[in-house]
């Protein structure tokens, strides 16, 4: 039950980030809802497609759709208040990233994916929704623009894969991987860490 609650919290936070971006782009209520659903569920859908799970899990569970869509509508109507909770949303976003990546990696391993593929699929589960959101808004995805986000996700996925290869307790492995992702992400935000870019560029 705790895992389900945490997963729903992650979905709500990702949906909120998509909805906030849509409101800032001046989309209508339908557009805001679509962006919320895409951001919250996109990564999981990509994971399931890559693993051959049809239909995707999030489309077989109405609760996921309700939470994501409902969050989008709440943000649409109360976006000035939501904008004031930026720090809380960033914290919950880090938690959601950690949970999605570890669960995605574990799911891929359980379905027989090799460790290297499971790590990439786990990372995609965490960052896929945000990347789709940015593409729909005609922006370069955030994960490709310097921020320490995908790197943290991949590191956590590797921890999960190594832990399961060593046959460590699954709960401990998931907790360790998620904690690493959350810690790296929050420190990167606090210290304003960015991945390096090519030097000598004009403009």
- Assigned domain for 37 exists: yes
- Assigned domain for 201 exists: no
Range of the domain at 93: 1-191
- Assigned domain for 43 exists: yes
Per-residue pLDDT averaged across 61-89, rounded? 87
- Assigned domain for 168 exists: yes
pLDDT digits (tens, 9 = 90+) for 168-187: 998 899 899 999 999 999 99
For residue 141, what pLDDT is reported? 85
For residue 109, what pLDDT is reported? 94
What is the Cα–Cα distance from 82 to 32, expressed in whole angstroms?
Answer: 14
For residue 91, what pLDDT is reported? 81
* Residue 200 three-state SS: coil
2, pLDDT greater than 90: no
For residue 32, what pLDDT is reported? 96
- Assigned domain for 177 exists: yes
- Assigned domain for 200 exists: no
For residue 96, what pLDDT is reported? 83
Q: Give the pLDDT band (50/70/90) at residue 147.
A: confident
How many separate domains does the chain show?
1
36, pLDDT greater than 80: yes
Q: What CA–CA distances, in Å, run from 121 to 24, 75, 102, 146?
A: 30, 29, 10, 21
């Amino acid at each position: 039950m705790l895992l389900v609650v945490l997963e729903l919290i992650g979905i709500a936070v990702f949906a909120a980030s998509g909805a906030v971006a849509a409101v800032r782009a001046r989309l209508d209520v339908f557009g805001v809802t679509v962006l919320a659903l895409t951001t919250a569920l996109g990564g999981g859908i990509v994971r399931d497609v890559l693993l051959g799970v049809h239909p995707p899990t999030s489309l077989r569970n109405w609760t996921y759709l309700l939470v994501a869509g409902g969050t989008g509508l709440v943000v649409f109507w109360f976006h000035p208040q939501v904008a004031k909770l930026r720090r809380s949303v960033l914290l919950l976003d880090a938690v959601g990233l950690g949970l999605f990546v570890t669960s995605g990696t574990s799911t891929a391993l359980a379905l027989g994916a090799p460790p290297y593929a499971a790590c990439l699929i786990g990372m995609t589960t965490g960052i896929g929704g945000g990347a789709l959101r940015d593409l729909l808004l005609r922006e370069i995805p955030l994960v490709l623009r310097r921020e320490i986000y995908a790197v943290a996700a991949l590191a956590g996925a590797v921890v999960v894969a190594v832990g399961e290869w060593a046959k460590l307790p699954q709960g401990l492995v998931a907790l360790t991987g998620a904690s690493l992702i959350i810690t790296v992400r929050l420190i990167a935000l606090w210290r304003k860490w960015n991945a390096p870019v090519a030097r000598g560029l004009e403009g």
